[in-house]
Amino acid sequence: KVLWTVLVTMLGCSSSLPVGEDALCTAEELAKYRIIFTGKWSQTAFPKQYPLYRPPAQWSSLLGVTHSSDYSMWKKNEYASNGVRDFAEKGEAWALMKEIEEAGEKIQSVHGIFSAPAISSGTGQTSTELEVHPRHPLVSFVVRIVPSPDWFVGIDSLNLCEGDHWMEEVSVDLFPYDAGTDSGFTFSSPNFATIPQDTVTEITCSSPSHPANSFYYPKLKILPPIAQVTMVKLKKSQLGLSAPFINLPAKSNEIIDTVS
């Protein structure tokens, strides 16, 4: 069956049908990955206005999706959907889950939703499994920065397929984004809707260019990564109970503590 898929896709290519970025994936049918999200939002790395109380610095649940290029969860310099706005502003996942399910229902652009538990501190880890498919090889997810007006970290449409095989492991440093829906400048800014809504923008050490901004560090060239995500392909024998997970430290912040 795998071979058949390969042949069909090759025929598709050679007869010059319209080919999207994920139509080129000829890897085996399904692949499972363990996704490990690591928060690196420490007071040492981000001393400015670091939230210590009510609530202290922490991360929301992780909400993600595996999909084709016909779906986009969020994209830099484009407007956030209502679902992404609710999630980035309040950590409320329902509207975003509905958007994803509807995209899956209407245009078959979604393979599956996945989520991982919240992390109750700025540094720590969370994890879950995800499944990709040759027609749905892209991974996107969001994690809200708590507290914050509408800030999040995430991945937009990372392709886990490399031609005829699935990537074994991939790690990505993550930096903060502003969903463009709340004009708060600092972690604990009161709710203040941005009207009209702005696009999703990356927050850097110099942008927004205002000293009041929580990530404004004029002496830095770039911010240190505020989080990191690693996806590790699971062997068939590891499905359900994955060794990469077992081998992680007993406490979610052990790695972080030794690094910082």
The answer to whether residue 116 forms part of the interface with its own copies (CB under 8 A) is yes
Minimum CB–partner distance for residue 166 and its own copies (Å) = 18
Neighbours of 177 (CB within 10 A): 23
Residue 79 Cα distances to 8, 47, 73, 176, 218, angstroms: 36, 30, 11, 16, 28
* Binding segment toward its own copies, per CB under 8 A, in 16-24, 55-63, 168-176, 179-187: 55-63
Of 121, 183, 201, 230, the residue at the interface with its own copies (CB under 8 A) is 121
Please tell me whether residue 116 adopts helix, strand or coil conformation: strand
Amino acid letter, residue 1: K
The answer to whether residue 95 forms part of the interface with its own copies (CB under 8 A) is yes
User: Position of tokens 């600092």?
Assistant: 186
Strand partners of residue 201 = 178
The answer to whether residue 55 forms part of the interface with its own copies (CB under 8 A) is yes
Minimum CB–partner distance for residue 191 and its own copies (Å) = 13
Nearer to its own copies, 59 or 166 (CB): 59
Of 90, 158, 198, 201, the residue at the interface with its own copies (CB under 8 A) is 90
In what side-by-side order are the strands of the sheet with 151-159?
A: 110-116, 58-67, 138-146, 151-159, 177-178, 201-202
- One symbol per residue from 200 to 239: x for binding its own copies (CB under 8 A), - otherwise; what is it? ----------------------------------------
C-alpha to C-alpha distance for 171 and 119, rounded to whole angstroms: 19
Please tell me whether residue 254 adopts helix, strand or coil conformation: helix
Q: Which positions lie near its own copies, rule CB under 8 A?
A: 54-55, 60-61, 63, 90-95, 97-98, 101-102, 104-105, 110-113, 115-121, 124-128, 240-242, 245-246, 248, 250-252
